[in-house]
Amino acid sequence: MIYLRKAKEEDLAIIKTLAEQTWPTAYSDIISAEQIDFMLEKMYNQGELLEQLRNGHTFLIASEMHEDVGFAGFSVIDSEQRIFKLHKLYVLPKMHGKGVGKILINEVFDKVKAEGGNFLQLNVNKANKAKDFYEKAGFYIKYSTVLDIGNGFYMDDYVMEKEL
């Protein structure tokens, strides 16, 4: 049985640890180890996660048998058009194919709808097989983007969207 909880400040270290455990599997075929390390440090340091939490990001943590196995993070990005963004959704590799990602994404859909959201957007690397997961969940590719994230690294992504 998978349980979800809304993360609090004391859970941010868990989110960082889960990211460190999931990113190498998610990205090692797509980007360099150096870029993975750079992005993890940039996006998952305690200060950055705390700032996100304080600025309205909602983080959900999935657990099974008292073990944290995945997480998602989302926030509103355009309050006028009621557009939300799924910033993060990662599941431990050993839990892939067990429905944890689907449980997390469905909870995000429910929470965004409850907050009055019309659309949910996300970025996914063009070469990431997670794109197929998102398409099955009802997202479509809205456009392509290349983002300079610093240190000579870029993210070559699709922006995907789902109407809620």
Q: What is the pLDDT of residue 95?
A: 97
At 140, is the pLDDT very low, low, confident or very high (cuts 50, 70, 90)?
very high
Q: For 45-71, what is each residue's pLDDT tens digit?
A: 999 999 999 999 999 999 999 999 999
| Helices marked H in 45-84 | 46-54
Q: What is the pLDDT of residue 16?
A: 97
At 34, is the pLDDT very low, low, confident or very high (cuts 50, 70, 90)?
very high
Q: Is 101 in contact with 89 (CB distance < 8 Å)?
A: yes
- Say if residue 34 is exposed, middle or buried (CB neighbours under 10 Å; 0-12, 13-18, 19+): exposed
DSSP structural state of residue 117:
-
Q: What is the pLDDT of residue 124?
A: 97
Domain parsing of the chain, residue ranges: 2-163
Q: What is the pLDDT of residue 130?
A: 95
Three-state DSSP string of 91-115: ECHHHCCCCHHHHHHHHHHHHHHHC
DSSP structural state of residue 162:
E
Average pLDDT over residues 8-21: 98
Per the listing, tokens 């240190």 go with: 151
The top-level CATH class assigned to 2-163 is alpha beta
Q: Is 44 in contact with 16 (CB distance < 8 Å)?
A: yes
- Rounded Cα distance, 54 and 120, in Å: 20
| Amino acid in position 50 | L
Q: What is the pLDDT of residue 141?
A: 98
Q: What is the pLDDT of residue 131?
A: 97
Q: What is the pTM of this model?
A: 0.96
- Please, what is the Cα angle at 133 between 146 and 20, to 5 degrees? 70
Average pLDDT over residues 24-50: 95
Q: For 96-121, what is each residue's pLDDT tens digit?
A: 999 999 999 999 999 999 999 999 99
Mean pLDDT of the chain: 97
Can you give the C-alpha Rg of the chain in angstroms?
15
- CA nearest 3: which of 59, 65, 57? 65
